[in-house]
Amino acid sequence: MMGAALELVPDAPEDKEQSDLKELQVARMALIKERTRLLNRSKTQTPPS
């Protein structure tokens, strides 16, 4: 097998804290993208006539 030939070792599963931090980072990035989208939108909108 390829893994045996390369002497690969399995990664340790993520602990709860790492999983929580990754989830928070993903949520933070989504909020940053949303804020950027809204700021850009507000700069291009014109007031109704």
Instruction: Check residue 23 and give its pLDDT.
Output: 97
Mean pLDDT of all residues belonging to the chain: 88
Global pTM reads 0.65
Sign (positive or negative) of CA dihedral 30, 34, 35, 37: positive
Distance CA 25, CA 34 (A): 14
**Residue 4 predicted with pLDDT over 80:** no
pLDDT in tens, 13-39: 889 999 999 999 999 999 999 999 999
Q: Tell me the pLDDT band of 2, cut-offs 50, 70 and 90.
A: low
Q: Which of 19, 12, 15 is nearest to 27 (CA)?
A: 19
Q: Tell me the pLDDT band of 6, cut-offs 50, 70 and 90.
A: confident
